[in-house]
Chain A
Amino acid sequence: MLSLHTFLLFFLSLSGLLHAKSSSGDSVLVVLEPARQADFSIFFDGLKEQGYELTFRGPKDEKPIVAEHDVPAFSHIIILASESKNFAKDITPQSLVELMSGGTNLLMALSEKQTPLSSLASEFSLILPPPGTPLVSFFPERKDPLSMIPIDAPVDSLILSPKMNPVWFSGVPHALGSNPLLVPILHAPSDSFAADTDSNADALVDAAEKGGEGLWAGSQLSVATGFQALGGARATWLGGVDMLSDKFAKKSKAGNKQFARDVAAWTFQESRVLRIDSTTHHLVNGTTPLEQYTINDQIVYTAQISHYNAKTSKWEPYSGITDMQLEFTMLDPHVRTALLPVAGSPGTYSVTFRAPDRHGVFKFVINHKRKGWTHLFSSTTVPVVPPRHDGYPRFLSAAWPYYAGAISTSVGFFVFSAAWLAGESRESKKAKKTQ
């Protein structure tokens, strides 16, 4: 029995090693019409294999609620209910934004119909086409309907694996606004356009002549977009639910399964996750951080950065950031220098610089934002004071005439007083003698 027990444990732990887990929790809520649950079995099984606990809920169900007393109940939420026009009371666009501020990651799918998510998409700076205009493409030639399009995976994507098979897509595209927090994952093919099947192409021609304004066509449209909120939560918008369905995954030479895996890994904080473990600052010759520095001091600033390894579920020191900057700021950056990794010390970034000649309250600011990677932000406030009143160079040699003058005056004073008093006593003695 013992041996079986240990064998089982060993096997379970091994399986744990093989699975990549999220860095921010394992509980996932899937909002999906119960009738369609079976259509996505490959996707859900893949998630369960990775170690996520899935909870299913219909869009109009009351339970389980997403947030209890303003505390998010789940780490991640997948909303694939693209057919329902109304959701339950606790899933509203406003509450989803609240959840993101609480750290919940969202994976949402849009559809041709108007769902509550359509109004939320515009808050994420996504521009949706008019209702009822799915993405349509005549190329490549295929037997499938026009709205089922194979999209080649991009060559150098941050989120998708390299050398992926084409991804089959069916749904609506969206245009991207100018929000820098958007992370495009998959663009529409350049020969696709959004059209309802009834109208002709005149509208498209007009829009093309206007320089593309209002033109729902081309690779400027995106079908899968990620979003990194300022609090660290991630959201991904998919133009259609079918990308994750079994039907598309089972197509020959389809990259949908890998696509779904990659997108879920990125959205649920498995890949491309960084954090600042600690930061310290001290003088060049010292080791402990001071409460305040003096102007023109040589200051050393060190940051420890680690990267989440999904395979081992551990945070590992990471020295791969080559373009991190440190700003020493008082209203405007007075010093902006590169924070480079230290060779021989994994995960450590350090720089030595001279404090400016200006006194004030400064901040060490690391503000590293790259698309796809977690935003790194750290701010440490420290005063920089002028030298103490006797910290200035004193008794300079250039002032020797003044020192000589002052000392000679004092000496002269003493000599004079002595001579005067001696003279006085002499005079009084003389006066006494003459009396």
Chain B
Amino acid sequence: MPQAIPLPSDLSPATVANTASLLRIIALSLISGAAIASRLFAVINFESIIHEFDPWFNYRATRVLASKGFYEFWNWFDPTAWYPLGRVVGGTVYPGLMATSGVIYYGLRALNLPVDIRNICVLLAPGFSALTAWATYMFTKEMKDESAGLLAAAFIGIVPGYISRSVAGSYDNEAIAIFLLMFTFFCWIKALKLGSALFGTVAAVFYFYMVAAWGGYVFITNMIPLHALVLILMGRFTSRLYVAYSSWYVIGTLASMQVPFVGFQPVSTSEHMAALGVFGLLQIVAFTQLVRSHVSSKQFQDILFVALVSAGVLGVAAFVGLTYKGTIAPWTGRFYSLWDTGYAKKYIPIIASVSEHQPTAWPSFFMDLQFLIFLFPAGVIMCFHQLRDEHVFVIIYAVMASYFAGVMVRLMLTLTPVVCVAAAVAFSSLLDTYLDAHEPEPEASATDSAASVDTGKKPKKEKAATGSALADLVAAATPTKKGDAPKFKGVYGTDTRFMIVMNAIAMLSFFVFHCTWATANAYSSPSVVLASQNQDGSQHIIDDFREAYYWLRQNTPETAVVMSWWDYGYQIAGMADRPTLVDNNTWNNTHIATVGKAMSSSEEVAYPILRKHDVDYVLVIFGGLLGYSGDDINKFLWMVRIAQGVWPEEIQEPNYFTPQGEYRVDSMASNAMKNSLMYKMSYYRFSELFGGGQAVDRVRNQQLPKEGPTLDVLDEAYTTENWIVRIYQVRKEDLLGRDLKSANAFAKGKKRKRSKPASRRRALSAAAST
């Protein structure tokens, strides 16, 4: 058969197949290497440190697991978190991540390789990203073929949308959850294709692992039933579907209830009812099919049809009734806010205040996915062309994930895998068409399929990673062509093919450059350590956070309680090792509101709260000197809102604005603002820095009054080099039982006003009037 490009023809099919699989293995290992390497920017630029906030708690929990063993970890009660309520960690945490690290740690020790637990935690995410690439390869292989699989693996290995949550040091649940997500989906598709209960069981076991690892498992819990339902509605019910879904559902749900944090939710909350409903529906449909195979009477079929419909209606009615009565819990706030986006801001300010929960801006789609985002719809449409069962799954996944990614920035992460898969399908189809070496005969005769032949294009991908250049191999193996009459449409000229293929390679190169740039600059910051540039261009490290936490660690008694806003709770617990009042777990809204009230009230109101909770130190973040905009004065309104939710008569948000409605911190600030503890703590002695000149807050760009605030109930304990973290010590009650303000005034030398003996009339008149 004529070939556009001359190919070797003396290779046996076995050699070809072996070479192809060898190339594939090499490609996958290089992709894994690239995935791991591109996540190491933070480790090399800064150091091997846990990033951000949430990972610090996971790291502490893993340390407990590593030092005390699994049994103690499972029953761990942390008395230093949420002082004095404590936190039952064993029952309120997703243990999958810690258990994974623990297993690796113990495994390595059994091999006599004592690796420090911190290094395991830091490098866990890159390691699992390599596994994610492999799982995506397997998944896409089921969709199309191995070449698409390799493309998808390469894409997800370096795409910024996934890297942002899995750099080295980002020790969070998503690090292993995405791998489990893709692998569970792969097992599900495989189970569906084969109709095998074994793959269904494996899918259920990995689903259990996913439930143990991440709260986003609800996505799988609803995606798979939705897929099954759509297949039924399309009329594609088969026994394979029945086998796969039933085995997955029963084993998976039973296993998922073993995780204490999940408990009985799978049978009592709305988020899990879809799976149960589809399960019931499947049983009914299967039974119907079975009966129908025995009986051919049309009337009987009609009765059965009626019975089926009424059963379905009854089921829905029962669900609605039970939800109304309360037996089935309605959608929890976190998930309900995905449907009603205005809900959280009104009713659950804590959820609304998290920056990751804000809607996604358009530029982030391009930033995270680059050219994959416009290949994505093309890939979905190609799925419509083929429309096997698994393609239906990709379509549903794509639609749902697109919606969720638009609602919350954080959920870009669930969109990324399906974008990689669909884009890989589209790109691979493109390459297939233009790399296919066959040309049709000039005569209109049907050509039969021949053995697959290799084409020898090996585009290189260059990476500007940490100095080392890694080459990636993409070997496109042409699938066997089905015999069909060649129409004379198509591009068969070599020059045209060359241009298209070169263009495709250029797009891939740009993709690589973009991913590396985005990873290096935007997603590799540990956010515990900040970096800026000096005037001569050298890097200036701002290490104020650690400076303050280590001051606390070395200069305060071990039982000293630290109050700060909940953002920093995990870091204080992890680095300073002191009890904290509230932390990022945000499980107790009233406790957080109490801290908010203390921060936003005057000293007289805040002091009893501080004493009641045994607070010894208060910590605030202040960015006014440096221009660090993530400080507590910017978050202050959220503190007010959350406190207002619990004490609406004491704290009102409008009081903190000027009468014109502006949020000001200079001399025009409202009284409530000026007297609040947060304002005083942030600007205490700030004007002294300017030596008599005007004090300027660089973040708000406002000038502060010359007379700074005074503090009566707190003593300044420590302020870091760039004034980012300020720590204050709470004064104990006055020796003579006075209120602290008068005690301070006396200590400064002011005299009290003369008073007279009190009137004795009061008691009598009160008695007379009643």
With A213-B761, A292-B77 known to touch, is A359 a contact of B756 (CB < 8 Å)?
no
Q: Are A212 and B760 in contact (CB under 8 A)?
A: yes
Q: In the bound complex, how far is the Cα of B753 from the Cα of A177, in angstroms?
A: 14
Interface 9-residue window, one of A37-45, A78-86, A118-126, A248-256: A118-126
Interface 9-residue window, one of A280-288, A345-353, A380-388: A380-388
With A213-B758, A385-B77 known to touch, is A331 a contact of B735 (CB < 8 Å)?
no
Which of B79, B612, B737 interacts with A230 by CB under 8 Å? Answer: B737
With A211-B759, A230-B733, A359-B77 known to touch, is A119 a contact of B84 (CB < 8 Å)?
no
Which of B85, B735, B746 interacts with A330 by CB under 8 Å? Answer: B85
Instruction: Verify if A289 is at the interface (C-beta below 8 Å from B).
Output: no
Q: Are A331 and B84 in contact (CB under 8 A)?
A: yes
Instruction: Verify if A27 is at the interface (C-beta below 8 Å from B).
Output: no
The majority secondary structure among interface residues of chain B is loop
With A211-B759, A215-B757 known to touch, is A386 a contact of B88 (CB < 8 Å)?
yes
With A213-B758, A389-B90 known to touch, is A383 a contact of B79 (CB < 8 Å)?
yes
With A213-B758, A230-B737 known to touch, is A94 a contact of B86 (CB < 8 Å)?
no
Q: Are B735 and A101 in contact (CB under 8 A)?
A: yes
Contacts of A356 in B (CB 8 A): none
Interface band, chain B: 35 or more
Q: In the bound complex, how far is the Cα of B84 from the Cα of A330, in angstroms?
A: 6
Q: In the bound complex, how far is the Cα of B430 from the Cα of A410, in angstroms?
A: 53
Q: In the bound complex, how far is the Cα of B392 from the Cα of A284, in angstroms?
A: 65
Q: Are A229 and B735 in contact (CB under 8 A)?
A: yes
Instruction: Verify if A169 is at the interface (C-beta below 8 Å from B).
Output: no
Which of B75, B90, B612, B747 interacts with A94 by CB under 8 Å? Answer: B747
Contacts of B79 in A (CB 8 A): 292, 361, 383
Q: Are A180 and B737 in contact (CB under 8 A)?
A: yes
Q: In the bound complex, how far is the Cα of B336 from the Cα of A138, in angstroms?
A: 83
Q: Are A94 and B746 in contact (CB under 8 A)?
A: yes
Instruction: Verify if B481 is at the interface (C-beta below 8 Å from A).
Output: no
Q: Are B736 and A123 in contact (CB under 8 A)?
A: yes
| Residues of B196-218 contacting chain A, CB below 8 A | none
| Residues of B726-767 contacting chain A, CB below 8 A | 733-738, 746-747, 749, 751-752, 754-762, 764
Instruction: Verify if B349 is at the interface (C-beta below 8 Å from A).
Output: no
Instruction: Verify if B533 is at the interface (C-beta below 8 Å from A).
Output: no
Q: In the bound complex, how far is the Cα of B16 from the Cα of A378, in angstroms?
A: 83
Q: Are A227 and B736 in contact (CB under 8 A)?
A: yes
What 0/1 pattern do residues 94 to 108 of A give for CB contact below 8 A with B? Answer: 100100110000000
Q: In the bound complex, how far is the Cα of B760 from the Cα of A215, in angstroms?
A: 10
Which of A93, A211, A362, A388 interacts with B75 by CB under 8 Å? Answer: A388
Contacts of B749 in A (CB 8 A): 94
A119 CB to nearest B CB, Å? 5
Q: Are B84 and A386 in contact (CB under 8 A)?
A: no
B79 and chain A: residue at smallest CB distance: A383
Q: In the bound complex, how far is the Cα of B734 from the Cα of A181, in angstroms?
A: 12
B748 CB to nearest A CB, Å? 9
Q: Are B75 and A331 in contact (CB under 8 A)?
A: no
Q: Are A119 and B751 in contact (CB under 8 A)?
A: yes
Contacts of B735 in A (CB 8 A): 97, 100-101, 229-231, 233
Q: Are B746 and A93 in contact (CB under 8 A)?
A: yes
How many A-B residue pairs lie within 8 Å, measured between CB atoms? 108
A128 CB to nearest B CB, Å? 8
Q: In the bound complex, how far is the Cα of B341 from the Cα of A322, in angstroms?
A: 62
Contacts of B559 in A (CB 8 A): 381
Instruction: Verify if B83 is at the interface (C-beta below 8 Å from A).
Output: yes
A60 CB to nearest B CB, Å? 20
Q: In the bound complex, how far is the Cα of B752 from the Cα of A230, in angstroms?
A: 21
Contacts of B83 in A (CB 8 A): 361
Instruction: Verify if B388 is at the interface (C-beta below 8 Å from A).
Output: no
| Residues of A204-233 contacting chain B, CB below 8 A | 210-216, 220-221, 227, 229-231, 233
Instruction: Verify if B68 is at the interface (C-beta below 8 Å from A).
Output: no
Contacts of A175 in B (CB 8 A): 756-758
Q: In the bound complex, how far is the Cα of B84 from the Cα of A383, in angstroms?
A: 9
Instruction: Verify if A73 is at the interface (C-beta below 8 Å from B).
Output: no
Instruction: Verify if A179 is at the interface (C-beta below 8 Å from B).
Output: yes
B606 CB to nearest A CB, Å? 16
Instruction: Verify if A127 is at the interface (C-beta below 8 Å from B).
Output: yes
A172 CB to nearest B CB, Å? 13
Instruction: Verify if A360 is at the interface (C-beta below 8 Å from B).
Output: yes
Contacts of A177 in B (CB 8 A): 755
A216 CB to nearest B CB, Å? 7
What 0/1 pattern do residues 78 to 115 of B give for CB contact below 8 A with A? Answer: 01000111101011000000000000000000000000
B559 CB to nearest A CB, Å? 7
With A122-B752, A220-B757 known to touch, is A362 a contact of B77 (CB < 8 Å)?
no
Which of A123, A181, A214, A359 interacts with B86 by CB under 8 Å? Answer: A359
B77 and chain A: residue at smallest CB distance: A385
Q: Are B736 and A383 in contact (CB under 8 A)?
A: no
Which of A123, A212, A233, A362 interacts with B738 by CB under 8 Å? Answer: A123
Instruction: Verify if B74 is at the interface (C-beta below 8 Å from A).
Output: yes
A210 and chain B: residue at smallest CB distance: B759
What 0/1 pattern do residues 180 to 207 of A give for CB contact below 8 A with B? Answer: 1100000000000000000000000000
Choose among B733, B738, B747, B756 the residue with the greatest number of A CB atoms under 10 Å from its CB: B756
Which of A124, A127, A180, A360 interacts with B757 by CB under 8 Å? Answer: A127
B80 and chain A: residue at smallest CB distance: A361
With A361-B83, A388-B75, A389-B74 known to touch, is A211 a contact of B761 (CB < 8 Å)?
yes
Contacts of A292 in B (CB 8 A): 77, 79
A136 CB to nearest B CB, Å? 16
A372 CB to nearest B CB, Å? 16
Instruction: Verify if B345 is at the interface (C-beta below 8 Å from A).
Output: no
Contacts of A123 in B (CB 8 A): 736, 738, 746, 752
Q: In the bound complex, how far is the Cα of B738 from the Cα of A221, in angstroms?
A: 21
Q: Are A331 and B77 in contact (CB under 8 A)?
A: no
B343 CB to nearest A CB, Å? 31
With A119-B752, A213-B761, A216-B757 known to touch, is A361 a contact of B86 (CB < 8 Å)?
yes
With A181-B737, A383-B77 known to touch, is A213 a contact of B756 (CB < 8 Å)?
yes
Q: In the bound complex, how far is the Cα of B762 from the Cα of A27, in angstroms?
A: 46
Contacts of B277 in A (CB 8 A): none
Q: In the bound complex, how far is the Cα of B759 from the Cα of A215, in angstroms?
A: 8
With A181-B737, A361-B84 known to touch, is A213 a contact of B759 (CB < 8 Å)?
yes
Instruction: Verify if B236 is at the interface (C-beta below 8 Å from A).
Output: no
A358 and chain B: residue at smallest CB distance: B85
Which of B85, B260, B612, B733 interacts with A389 by CB under 8 Å? Answer: B260
Q: Are B75 and A181 in contact (CB under 8 A)?
A: no
Q: Are B758 and A360 in contact (CB under 8 A)?
A: no
B394 CB to nearest A CB, Å? 36
Q: In the bound complex, how far is the Cα of B434 from the Cα of A126, in angstroms?
A: 99
A338 CB to nearest B CB, Å? 24
Instruction: Verify if B613 is at the interface (C-beta below 8 Å from A).
Output: yes
B560 CB to nearest A CB, Å? 12
Contacts of B759 in A (CB 8 A): 210-213
Contacts of B734 in A (CB 8 A): 230
B761 and chain A: residue at smallest CB distance: A211
Which of A94, A220, A231 interacts with B760 by CB under 8 Å? Answer: A220
A-B contact pairs, 29 of them (CB 8 A): A93-B746, A94-B749, A97-B747, A100-B735, A122-B751, A122-B755, A123-B736, A123-B738, A125-B738, A127-B756, A181-B737, A210-B759, A211-B761, A213-B757, A216-B757, A220-B760, A227-B736, A230-B736, A330-B85, A359-B77, A360-B84, A360-B85, A361-B79, A363-B84, A381-B559, A385-B86, A386-B77, A389-B90, A389-B260
Q: Give A residues with C-beta under 8 Å from B.
A: 93-94, 97, 100-101, 119, 122-125, 127, 175, 177-181, 210-216, 220-221, 227, 229-231, 233, 292, 330-331, 359-363, 381, 383, 385-386, 388-389
9 smallest beta-carbon distances between A and B, as pairs: A211-B761, A213-B759, A175-B757, A383-B79, A385-B77, A214-B756, A361-B84, A212-B760, A211-B759
A97-B735, A214-B756, A231-B735 are known contacts; what are 10 more A-B pairs with Cβ within 8 Å?
A100-B735, A122-B751, A125-B736, A181-B736, A213-B760, A220-B757, A230-B734, A230-B737, A385-B75, A389-B74
